[in-house]
Amino acid sequence: MLDNYHTDTPVPIVDLDIVARNIARLQTICDTAGVQNMPHFKTHKSLRIAQMQIDAGAVGITCQKLAEAEILAAAGFGNILISYNVLGSAKAARLQQVAEKTALTVACDNPVVAQFLSKSMAGSRAAIMVLVECDTGRERSGVTSPKQAADLASVIAGLPGLKFAGLMTYAPAGDPAPTSNFVAQTRKLCAENGLEINRISAGGTPGMATIGQVGETEYRAGTYVYNDLMMIAAGAATQADCALLVHATLVSNASPDRAIIDAGSKVLTSDTGGLDGFGLLIDYPEARIYALAEEHGFVDLSACLQKPQIGEIVRVLPNHVCPVSNLQSDIGLTQNGHPAGQLKINARGASK
Amino acid sequence: MLDNYHTDTPVPIVDLDIVARNIARLQTICDTAGVQNMPHFKTHKSLRIAQMQIDAGAVGITCQKLAEAEILAAAGFGNILISYNVLGSAKAARLQQVAEKTALTVACDNPVVAQFLSKSMAGSRAAIMVLVECDTGRERSGVTSPKQAADLASVIAGLPGLKFAGLMTYAPAGDPAPTSNFVAQTRKLCAENGLEINRISAGGTPGMATIGQVGETEYRAGTYVYNDLMMIAAGAATQADCALLVHATLVSNASPDRAIIDAGSKVLTSDTGGLDGFGLLIDYPEARIYALAEEHGFVDLSACLQKPQIGEIVRVLPNHVCPVSNLQSDIGLTQNGHPAGQLKINARGASK
């Protein structure tokens, strides 16, 4: 690829036209299904893209950590879901501040977190809406039975400063029945305790095609905004839907079949997403990034009919895009095929 | 572990006493061997720790990328080695600026890079010292034969703005003979071309115990400053030599044997370093971090006699520490067992 843009590599570059198309596609799916769109901040961590999502019809923004919610709340986003157990004494005052600035929902899967959330709100007239996180098969966080979910809902409903709001799940791929059944049983048990479930949050880009089928009222998708090789492998995107490419320079070719690019694990990350290799050279699809050192990408060129040359800029589609943008302060933008400035990654590294 | 410090997790915390001991140990080895110490910036990316290394006797600092060298040069470090092929039109003016501020050496394994380095110095009275990078078995960058090394040395010696300075290798573990032979043959061929080899740079923390044995005049070690599970596995460190631990909070324990900590791949990185799991819970060594999501660390507690509780802060020794500090703007410090402020990671993400 010719270096028309005098590109300083390695750098991720995002195509804003593809981003806008991806945002519109999810919004249409949500609107058609009558499900509220709460896209996930974790992928782009950019206030500008979050605003594009709101402008297209999203009702709020989901994030994973309190530090991300602080950035969103400070920027005036009015409806934020932290889809994560927030816990730790250093977070209490921070949590109350966010809850006083914005409509804040937090997910929770255990009474220790529920009590912490409640204590954090002491002295405040605001309240945190709390979703009970349910593990419907992914085996990450989440209560593992409808009974536990209903019991935790009652704990939450009884704590000052909290409002029980409903359920959250990150359902595994495949059969929706375990999730639907979990939700139905929990709804029944909660009703017996006098609690109504008004919100059910589901999520994940691979599940976009079937939004609504587990009875969710809102949806959290993150990766869809950029897409990556994992989403292609999951059947949720094509290469044309992938908005972020890492531009890297081929800096060494000491052995005929081995090239080194200037993007290693500190740019592409070591996250393979369970796929082979560490990204696709889209202009040389027969090439294979077979290893990464911190600043070296090792490329096997043996299968390439035409080989990239030293000094050439190559474009890498990452396996998993979310941790890639988290490594940058600013990434490049293009629009209509032309450079379009920089995108600030406001919540880079905001994991606290 | 009790949260005596009101620690906001997840956060890496560095023990400055261990850092000082590690720095002193490498310096003593180098001094004893009569080898100049050029420690690698890539691990800590901190000007403060780089200064500790200089204060202990290092003659300069090695870094991997031009962006790191810019930060070091701007802070007044007077002797910098970029152990990497620097290439790309956007880097030319930047390179000249660094070379005018500091004594700059750059490694190079091909004539395209040599010509780029030379052109970058057009109009400047400064010069870049250039080391020919030699691949003596690691199969990363580096010319693969003494003939190529000597030919490239002649190219460099003939280019304006450059001074041929010597050779650089990142020798593989094990038998030093291939590296020694490569160096000896290259020295002979260079001498026939009228070129003297004054510097031979070798590197790597695992090779610290045998510094000097391939005839190097200077040594680049990086990871030794913090150490990690990879260095323990390589026999280069013990757990007592490991200075950086990630403090994380146990936030979920929905299944008796599965805990979730609030450090995932965005903090611990997906870099396993070829080891099993994603870090060691040093207070619960029978536990196993078996998977990471972006903000979730999945811990198998089934082998633990005593299990950590929800809300407890656990300390994780990373598999590979270098990409971990690269994810942070600031990390915590302790000294004499007490909190000792923050360490700024000046070159976080400086991969350009």
> Do the chains contact at A310 and B351, CB–CB below 8 Å?
no
> Do the chains contact at A254 and B110, CB–CB below 8 Å?
yes
CB B205 within 8 A of CB B221: yes
**Chain A hits for B7, Cβ within 8 Å:** 88, 90
**Chain A hits for B91, Cβ within 8 Å:** 8
Chosen for mutation from B108, B138, B140, B253 (greatest number of chain A CBs closer than 10 Å) is B140
Residue B247 lies in a domain: yes
Chosen for mutation from B136, B141, B260, B275 (greatest number of chain A CBs closer than 10 Å) is B141
Tell me, yes or no, whether B67 and B215 share the same domain.
yes
**Chain B hits for A298, Cβ within 8 Å:** 140
Task: Give the pLDDT confidence score for residue B316 in this predicted structure.
Answer: 98
Q: Which amino acid is at A311?
A: G
Boundary-marking domain end, from B185, B204, B227: B227
CA distances from B292 to A63, A327, B259 (A): 17, 17, 12
Q: Which amino acid is at A234?
A: A
The whole-angstrom distance between A218's CA and the closest CA on chain B is 22
CATH of the domain at A98: 3.20.20.10
- Mind listing the pLDDT tens digit for each residue in A274-304? 999 999 999 999 999 999 999 999 999 999 9
Q: Which residue of A has its CA nearest to B64?
A: A295
**Chain B hits for A349, Cβ within 8 Å:** 266, 327-329, 348
Tell me, yes or no, whether A212 and A262 share the same domain.
no
> Do the chains contact at B349 and A326, CB–CB below 8 Å?
no
Tell me, yes or no, whether B189 and B131 share the same domain.
yes
Rounded to whole angstroms, the Cα distance separating A132 from A140 reads 14
Provide φ and ψ at A18, rounded to 5°.
-70, -40
Tell me, yes or no, whether B52 and B92 share the same domain.
yes
Residue B36 lies in a domain: yes
> Do the chains contact at A298 and B110, CB–CB below 8 Å?
no
- Confidence band, pLDDT 50/70/90 cuts, at residue A2: very low
**Continuous segment of H or E residues that includes residue A81:** strand A79-82
Rounded to whole angstroms, the Cα distance separating A24 from A59 reads 14
Boundary-marking domain end, from A226, A256, A291: A226
CA distances from B114 to A258, B73, B79 (A): 19, 21, 20
- Confidence band, pLDDT 50/70/90 cuts, at residue B173: confident
- Mind listing the pLDDT tens digit for each residue in B72-114? 999 999 999 999 999 999 999 999 999 999 999 999 999 999 9
Residue A156 lies in a domain: yes
- Mind listing the pLDDT tens digit for each residue in B174-225? 899 999 999 999 999 999 999 999 999 999 999 999 999 999 999 999 999 9
Boundary-marking domain end, from B162, B194, B227: B227
DSSP state, residue A138: S
SS (H, E, C) B278-297: CCEECCCCCCEEEEECCCCE
Mean pLDDT of B265-293: 97
Task: Give the pLDDT confidence score for residue A7 in this predicted structure.
Answer: 87
Q: Residue B259 pLDDT > 60, yes or no?
A: yes
Tokens 């599970």 belong to: B229
Tell me, yes or no, whether B174 and B30 share the same domain.
yes
Q: What one-character-per-residue DSSP string does B197-221 give?
A: --EEEEE-GGGGGGTTTT--SEEE-
The whole-angstrom distance between A253's CA and the closest CA on chain B is 8
> Do the chains contact at A139 and B329, CB–CB below 8 Å?
no
- Confidence band, pLDDT 50/70/90 cuts, at residue B46: very high
Specify the pTM.
Answer: 0.97
Which residue in the set A143, A253, A293 is minimally distant from B140, CB to CB?
A: A293
Q: Closest Cα partner for A63 from B250, B246, B266, B325?
A: B266
Residue B42 lies in a domain: yes
The whole-angstrom distance between A87's CA and the closest CA on chain B is 6
Chosen for mutation from B64, B230, B252, B268 (greatest number of chain A CBs closer than 10 Å) is B252
The whole-angstrom distance between A266's CA and the closest CA on chain B is 6
Tell me, yes or no, whether B223 and B242 share the same domain.
no
Q: Which amino acid is at A198?
A: N
The whole-angstrom distance between B233's CA and the closest CA on chain A is 18
On the 0-12 / 13-18 / 19+ scale of CB atoms within 10 A, A174 is: exposed
Query: Which token pair is B170?
Result: 């990142």
Residue A263 lies in a domain: yes
Whether residue A318 has a cis bond before it, omega within 30° of 0 = no
DSSP SS3 for B112 = helix
**Chain A hits for B114, Cβ within 8 Å:** none
> Do the chains contact at B110 and A310, CB–CB below 8 Å?
yes
Which residue in the set A3, A260, A322 is minimally distant from B294, CB to CB?
A: A322
> Do the chains contact at B116 and A311, CB–CB below 8 Å?
yes
Rounded to whole angstroms, the Cα distance separating B114 from B136 reads 20
As a whole number, the mean pLDDT across chain B is 96
Residue B351 lies in a domain: no
Residue A5 lies in a domain: no
Q: Which residue of A has its CA nearest to B255?
A: A144
How many domains is chain B built from? Answer: 2
| Domain extent at residue A298 | 238-344
Tell me, yes or no, whether A221 and A243 share the same domain.
no
> Do the chains contact at B249 and A90, CB–CB below 8 Å?
no
Tell me, yes or no, whether B160 and B263 share the same domain.
no
> Do the chains contact at A141 and B252, CB–CB below 8 Å?
yes
Mean pLDDT of B225-253: 98
> Do the chains contact at A260 and B322, CB–CB below 8 Å?
no
Q: Residue B328 pLDDT > 80, yes or no?
A: yes
Q: Number of CB pairs < 8 Å for A and B?
A: 191
The whole-angstrom distance between B213's CA and the closest CA on chain A is 25
Mean pLDDT of A192-219: 96
> Do the chains contact at B295 and A85, CB–CB below 8 Å?
no
> Do the chains contact at A254 and B143, CB–CB below 8 Å?
yes
Tell me, yes or no, whether B219 and B242 share the same domain.
no
- Mind listing the pLDDT tens digit for each residue in B242-252? 999 999 999 99
Tell me, yes or no, whether A302 and A157 share the same domain.
no
- Mind listing the pLDDT tens digit for each residue in A305-344? 999 999 999 999 999 999 999 999 999 999 999 999 999 9
State yes or no: ipTM above 0.95. yes
Tell me, yes or no, whether A182 and A286 share the same domain.
no
**Ranges A92-96, A159-163, A212-216: which has the least confidence:** A212-216
Q: Residue A10 pLDDT > 90, yes or no?
A: yes
Task: Give the pLDDT confidence score for residue A342 in this predicted structure.
Answer: 96
- Mind listing the pLDDT tens digit for each residue in A157-181? 999 999 999 999 999 988 999 999 9
Tell me, yes or no, whether B56 and B194 share the same domain.
yes
- Confidence band, pLDDT 50/70/90 cuts, at residue B5: low
Rounded to whole angstroms, the Cα distance separating A261 from A176 reads 43
Taking the CA atoms of residue B20, residue B25, residue B28 and residue B33 in that order, the dihedral angle to the nearest 10 degrees is -140
Task: Give the pLDDT confidence score for residue B2 in this predicted structure.
Answer: 45
The whole-angstrom distance between A6's CA and the closest CA on chain B is 6
Rounded to whole angstroms, the Cα distance separating A125 from A112 reads 22
CATH of the domain at B259: 2.40.37.20
Residue A351 lies in a domain: no
As a whole number, the mean pLDDT across chain A is 96
